[in-house]
């Protein structure tokens, strides 16, 4: 429930704090005092659209903060999705700050949130009913849940069984999609895999091939440079040629010269042997250089073949992997995938049989659920009709429209979590007029009473903890007003109810009364909120009955109304 509301700089409200209680909370006061502003402020923390002219004149921002006491189960999944921690004591703090520049800052339990998040959360916390603001009952998608809540326990049993089969049905469909997809998609997949496998096989890839080809290509591209280098080296080291005496000739001459002094010292003999060893090694090197030079050929055809092969490898790498090894691994993988697709006919046939069996079970359960809903709708229509008559709407007709949609799309029925039914509440508020969707009702007063009638019947099954009725008394008086008060009192046994009213018949039924007043100080007007004690409650009811002039008669009338209200509550 909504425990506390703090409003700053909204319209004529400077700053007010309202502590709200269980049961029926009634806000009264003169027209223009700020009652509707309080409702507008609540709408702000419910994520409704705001206009900057709602900010108090002379201020650059307005703030609304609400403190709720909430059952964890009601909002736990949303808070988890939002990444917001749950307070162990069940406290939920929602705030919204909006500025003249149009900037919004929203918070849930101190964490930054979006307006959309406020709206999603607000739909689970408060239901606002007024001449222009109606939430859950105007959302057609919520009608089926309300009807199901009103129906017998058999419907819930059927629904539980249906949901189990629906989960199995969806798993089978998912598996079939993995294995086959649709027929066209399957054929496309097979063609693609076959093409890829064929392309890789035709390439006859070998591990290490790319590196070897790149090496050969490098040699061929640089063959002229290599040949020149080998020729120069051969002349320098071995033949002499244009350079005159070669290195090998000079080393051999040095060895010969050392042969003339080797007898004088063992060191010279050692040096001679070492020079001779160098000459032998150099002679071997020169021979190898000569062979390399003589066998070096530039073959443009071979280069072209290598370039072509490397291009094939490049294109395959772009498609299937960064190396020949990865391409071959990819080929193995898609060969297995193709084999599964081509050879899973037996599995697919079995799954299709299971899917057909589950479809039959779902359809049977959906039909049974439809029958239960039809039964419940007749009883709901009757009871709501009685409530509407009680609220002086004797010519109003209320119907529950149930459409059983067993049409198929691509050969499959469109099962959802509620079966195959679409439920919508229909109404006609005047004799002779056709039934229309609930959202099409034109009169705000009629809309409010229709909502009240429906809420009275569904009060025990509707899970929204707080309900707000903003001037639900528009256009009613006398017996109808008394009945409205009684029904609000009845609803407040299972919900926190907040009602803005001008009727004494509603005010006297309240568990908590608040007087909204407008005061002017130093040329500035502001709204104040006062919670009334028993005497204040009596005086306020007398004011509503008698206007500005409160007499002994109006006070006595107020006391009588309060006594009757207490008797009714008992």
Spatial distance between the Cα atoms of 459 and 489, rounded to a whole number of angstroms: 11
Most confident of 159-163, 198-202, 330-334, 453-457: 159-163
pLDDT bucket at 298, cuts 50 / 70 / 90:
low
Rounded average pLDDT over 156-172 = 95
What number is the average pLDDT over the span 188-209?
86
Q: Which residue has the higher pLDDT, 336 or 5?
A: 5
Q: Which residue has the higher pLDDT, 420 or 310?
A: 420
Residue 481 has pLDDT above 90, yes or no: no
Q: Check whether 130 has a pLDDT greater than 70.
A: no
pLDDT value, residue 133: 43
> What average pLDDT does range 385-390 have in this prediction?
87
Residue 288 clears pLDDT 90, i.e. is over it: no
| 242: pLDDT strictly greater than 70 | no
Residue (of 463, 465, 454) closest to 487 by Cα position:
454
Query: What six digits make up the tokens of 262?
Result: 């080797």
Q: Decide: 88 and 97 in contact? Cβ < 8 Å.
A: no
Predicted pLDDT of residue 132: 47
* DSSP-assigned states of every residue in 448-510: HHHHHHHHHHHTTT---SEEEEESTTTT--HHHHHHHHHHHHHHTTTSEEEEE-S-HHHHTT-
- The listed range with the strongest mean pLDDT (36-40, 231-235, 268-272, 370-374) is 370-374
Name the more confident of 137 and 442.
Answer: 137
Is residue 255 very low, low, confident or very high in pLDDT (cuts 50, 70, 90)?
confident
Residue 516 has pLDDT above 50, yes or no: yes
pLDDT band at 136 (very low <50, low <70, confident <90, very high): low
Find the mean pLDDT for residues 349-356. Answer: 91
- Please say if the pLDDT value at position 137 is more than 60: yes
| Distance, CA of 123 to CA of 347 (rounded, Å) | 45
Q: 525, exposed or middle or buried, with CB in 10 Å at 0-12, 13-18, 19+?
A: middle
Tell me how long the chain is. Answer: 570
In the three-class reduction of DSSP (H, G, I as helix; E, B as strand; rest coil), residue 251 is classed as helix
Helix axes 444-458, 140-150, angle to 10 degrees: 30
Alpha helices per DSSP H over 180-265? 183-203, 209-221, 223-234, 247-259
User: Per-residue pLDDT for 435 more than 80?
Assistant: yes
Look at residue 443 in the predicted model and tell me its pLDDT.
57
- Tell me: pLDDT of 63 over 80: yes
User: Whole-prediction pTM value?
Assistant: 0.60
CA–CA dist 402, 529 (Å, integer) = 46
For residues 101-129, give the mean pLDDT.
90
Beta-strand (E) ranges in 70-195? 91-99, 104-108, 111-113, 126-129
Mean pLDDT of the chain: 86
Q: Give yes or no for residue 61 having a pLDDT over 80.
A: yes
Residue 401: its pLDDT value, please?
A: 95
Over 90: is that where the pLDDT of 204 sits? Answer: no
Question: CA torsion sign, 536 to 474 to 18 to 20?
Answer: positive
């Amino acid at each position: 429930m909504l425990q506390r509301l703090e409003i700053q700089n909204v319209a004529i409200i400077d700053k007010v704090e309202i502590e709200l209680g269980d049961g029926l909370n009634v806000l009264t006061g003169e027209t223009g005092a700020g009652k509707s502003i309080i409702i507008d402020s609540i709408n702000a923390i419910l994520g409704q659209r705001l206009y900057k002219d709602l900010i108090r004149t002379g201020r650059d921002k307005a703030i609304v903060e609400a403190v709720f006491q909430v059952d964890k189960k009601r909002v736990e999944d949303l808070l988890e999705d939002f990444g917001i921690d749950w307070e162990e004591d069940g406290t939920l703090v929602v705030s919204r700050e909006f500025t003249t520049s149009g900037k919004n800052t929203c918070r849930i339990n101190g964490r930054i949130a979006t307006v959309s998040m406020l709206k999603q959360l607000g739909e689970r916390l408060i239901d606002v009913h007024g001449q222009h603001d109606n939430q859950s009952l105007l959302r057609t998608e919520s009608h089926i849940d309300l009807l199901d809540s009103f129906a017998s326990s058999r419907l819930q049993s059927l629904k539980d069984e249906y949901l189990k089969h629906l989960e199995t049905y969806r798993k089978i469909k998912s598996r079939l999609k993995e294995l086959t997809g649709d027929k066209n998609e399957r054929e496309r997949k097979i063609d693609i895999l076959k093409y890829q496998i064929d392309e890789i096989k035709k390439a006859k890839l070998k591990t290490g091939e790319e590196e070897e080809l790149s090496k050969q290509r490098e040699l061929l591209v640089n063959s002229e440079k290599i040949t020149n280098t080998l020729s120069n080296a051969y002349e320098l080291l071995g033949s002499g040629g244009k350079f005159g005496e070669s290195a090998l000739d000079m080393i051999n001459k040095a060895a010969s010269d050392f042969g003339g002094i080797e007898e004088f010292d063992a060191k010279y003999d050692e040096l001679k042997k070492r020079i001779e060893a160098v000459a032998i090694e150099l002679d071997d090197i020169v021979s190898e250089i000569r062979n390399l030079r003589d066998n070096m050929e530039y073959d443009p055809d071979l280069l072209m073949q290598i370039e072509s092969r490397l291009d094939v490898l490049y294109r395959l790498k772009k498609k299937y992997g960064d190396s020949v090894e990865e391409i071959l691994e990819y080929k193995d993988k898609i060969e297995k995938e193709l084999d599964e697709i081509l050879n899973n006919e037996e599995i697919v046939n079995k799954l299709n049989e299971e899917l057909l069996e589950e479809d039959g079970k779902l359809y049977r359960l959906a039909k049974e659920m439809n029958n239960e809903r039809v039964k419940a709708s007749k009883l709901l229509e009757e009871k709501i009709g009685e409530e509407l008559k009680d609220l002086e709407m004797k010519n109003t007709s209320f119907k529950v429209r149930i459409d059983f949609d067993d049409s198929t799309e691509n050969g499959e029925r469109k099962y959802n979590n509620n079966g195959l039914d679409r439920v919508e509440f229909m109404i006609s508020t005047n004799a002779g007029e056709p039934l229309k969707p609930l959202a099409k009702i034109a009169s705000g007063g009629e809309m409010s009473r229709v909502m009240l009638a429906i809420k009275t019947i569904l009060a025990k099954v509707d899970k929204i903890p707080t309900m707000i009725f903003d001037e639900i008394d528009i256009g009613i008086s006398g017996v109808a007003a008394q009945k409205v008060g009684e029904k609000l009192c009845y609803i407040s046994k299972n919900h926190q109810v907040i009602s803005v009213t001008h009727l004494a018949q509603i005010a006297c039924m309240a568990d908590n009364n608040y007087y909204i007043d407008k005061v002017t100080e130093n040329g500035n007007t502001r709204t104040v909120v006062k919670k009334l004690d028993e005497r204040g409650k009596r005086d306020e009811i007398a004011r509503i009955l008698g206007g500005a002039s409160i007499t002994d008669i109006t006070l006595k009338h107020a006391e009588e109304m309060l006594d009757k209200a207490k008797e009714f509550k008992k």
